[in-house]
A and B are shown apart, each in its own frame.
Chain A
């Protein structure tokens, strides 16, 4: 399944919530959708879920336009909104059963699908509880179950980790990784960027309705942080001043500084150049205990790229 967002635009009166954005991802990929509040993430996701009609542009699911054939698109998309189910007087099992019926599942296959999803999302123990009596984490599981009960190929998750406790977050992350293994295409928005770095293959950074960066995590990291940050630890920390002196004389190395028990510096060049620096240090007689490249995380990139503007 190939998902292509093409020239999407959404206006609410004079406000342009989404301004001509395009990106794409495939089955088995988890794509992070990040941006400050009011960036246009939820609007984009609502358009993809056919809840909103775009002013311009379209979303294609394996070539099927969501504008022209929203009914077919709805079969392919599972949407988890940022709001939790507010249905009163209905149990978890009835809620999931209703959505299974609503997506055309019948008879025994429906019963099996509902039971399987209850097991997958770990809500079997609370299947007869009323939804309104559930905790936020449990409601989030039920919402995810609702989106998965008819086995959609694409999952759109809007802030699924918001308000969850650490354990529920870890479990949600594991669920998402399992779903990616099952070849689902997943678009997830979240403000917890460290978690996204761990589970996402790609990322779209959006602000004021426009895309600032998009691509695989590595590509974005490379693009946003062209210089490598390296940390070195010596067997004898007393040699750190000498190491600093040496590094300052090494070509392409900048910003060398002692930070706690290690020395950090930035350098230009590829992995081979890094190996060259390591060989040079060993050649100079330094007993190198650790030489590692420090990865810039999504949070750093997000802070660098965005300005925090809202519409």
Chain B
């Protein structure tokens, strides 16, 4: 009720609303920036000359093209996507990255603006810039409809889709800009991001060209296309929101409970996508009763595969968490035992994070297992044999991969605690990546040194190497599972005391009074 009242009071004061200060500042700077102005002029010039080239080509062509609009449109979309997918995210990301330099952090990050407001401000500014470029392009786009071959609804639909992709790319650039790494690493990330954006814009442009060749209007009438479009929207929105929460977490003060919103959001996203995957699989099964169970359950397999991949990546971040919670976080721990135990999964800390990942991985595994029980039964005993093998194989491989993930993470945590305890906990995350890297590269290197490296040798079983799991024959996957499970038991035993200590220390801290000392007249305490 209090929240509702607060929301009501907020909306009742709509006359006092003011724009996000970050948007104002960024836009003021952007419109004066020679980079934006120069890029916009260059963009308009390229659009103009592209149109001109097509028109001149048409006038000198003996075989006149009756649908010139359909030919010009993909070219214009390519230019637009390149400008908006490469320039705007780079512009926003690089600026943010420079502001977030650890040695010279911009003072706007120590104002009373909330991290969420800062990230939203950057995001809106990127959107406004995208709108600026789209608006500049719109007359040229509308012109293509006059040249026939493409209608206005198709143009608007494609531009809408492109705008959504640009928004997601801007969010991704903001996320990269927020990552707290050195300038060199940030530069490398920027280069990688640039490569991805160029690839995305090229892929998108070629996709749109293909679509416009087939006729966008006819595609819009197909339920399958709309289903795919809805999936694209959902996945894009989910990913963009995840990047938003991650960005907010990264610029929040170190003492804040950074993990809570991210873990809650990821849990909700995992559950929602799981429900959608189940519903989709059931829907597919209802539509085509003759389809094999393995095909029917494809959305479920896709969901679980993506879940495992994301959880594997999350493990690296989770082990980089500090063991000691800040007093601010400890004061927010619920006093009641149930709330406290639940909070352990979602609050900052490596131990809680590992349990949270393990919980989600276990639930993903269980849901696929339940499907295994439900699906063949629907089709009767006759068809059970064939799909069961594939299903079991999928479960074995994913289970072994997740076990390996935990093996690396727990081993890295143990090594960090034993040998690098005075160094930053981020090193535990680095070790989590280095261990599988070493296990994957050292054996081939040794084989190379003794001149025994062949393609066949790469396919031999290499226990401990998670990548090997996906290349070995089916019969060799079972030993991988056993080995990974054994390693996990050892790693758990090595970390058991630490886990227990973390659980014991996860208790609410009551507010403490500040020390009554240290005024001007006091002497050095050092």
Binding site for B on A (CB under 8 A): 2, 4-7, 13-14, 19-26, 29, 31, 49-51, 53, 58, 60, 63, 65, 67-71, 74-75, 79, 81, 83, 87-90, 94, 98-99, 101-104, 106-107, 146, 201-202, 210-216, 219
Contact = CB atoms under 8 A, between A and B. Distances in A.
Contacts of B326: 67-68
Interface of B: 16, 18, 21-22, 24-25, 28-30, 32-33, 104-105, 107-108, 110-114, 253-255, 326-328, 331, 422-424, 513-515, 517-526
A13 B518 CA distance: 28
Given A65-B327, A99-B107, A102-B111, 11 more contacts: A70-B255, A74-B112, A83-B104, A90-B25, A98-B108, A102-B22, A104-B112, A211-B524, A211-B525, A212-B524, A214-B524
B105 A23 contact: no
B32 A89 contact: yes
B524 A75 contact: no
Given A21-B526, A103-B112, A67 B517 contact: no
B33 to A, nearest CB: 5
6 contacts: A14-B422, A22-B525, A23-B522, A79-B107, A94-B25, A104-B112
Considering residues B21, B326, B524, B526, which has the most beta carbons from chain A within 10 angstroms of its beta carbon?
B526
A24 B520 contact: yes
A45 to B, nearest CB: 12
State the majority secondary structure of interface residues on B. loop
A103 B28 CA distance: 19
B25 A202 contact: no
Contact of B29 (A13, A60, A90): A90
Contacts of B521: 215-216, 219
Nearest to B424: A13
A67 B514 CA distance: 12
B215 to A, nearest CB: 45
A13 B423 contact: yes
Contact of A65 (B28, B514, B518, B522): B514
Contacts of B255: 53, 67-68, 70
A212 B524 CA distance: 7
A219 B524 CA distance: 12
A13 B277 CA distance: 46
Contacts of A102: 21-22, 108, 111-113
A102 B466 CA distance: 48
Considering residues A102, A104, A202, which has the most beta carbons from chain B within 10 angstroms of its beta carbon?
A102
Nearest to B118: A102
Considering residues B24, B107, B327, which has the most beta carbons from chain A within 10 angstroms of its beta carbon?
B107
A54 to B, nearest CB: 10
Nearest to A203: B520
Contact of A216 (B22, B104, B520): B520
Contacts of B113: 102
Contacts of B111: 74, 99, 102-103
Query: Across chains A and B, which 7 residue pairs bring their CB atoms closest together, nearest first?
Result: A24-B518, A101-B21, A22-B525, A102-B111, A89-B32, A60-B514, A211-B524
Contacts of A70: 253, 255
A88 to B, nearest CB: 7
A103 B110 CA distance: 10
A24 B112 contact: no
Given A4-B517, A19-B526, A213-B524, A49 B110 contact: yes
B125 to A, nearest CB: 13
A50 B253 contact: yes
A94 B21 CA distance: 11
Contacts of A21: 525-526
B524 A98 contact: no
A29 B520 contact: yes
Nearest to B121: A102
A146 B517 contact: no
Given A6-B517, A102-B21, A214 B254 contact: no
A202 B526 contact: no
Contacts of B523: 213-215
A49 B110 CA distance: 8
A22 B30 CA distance: 44
A202 B327 CA distance: 31
A20 B112 contact: no
B328 A69 contact: yes
A51 B105 contact: yes
A25 B519 contact: yes
Contact of B518 (A22, A51, A146): A22
Given A2-B519, A4-B518, A24-B518, A68 B524 contact: no
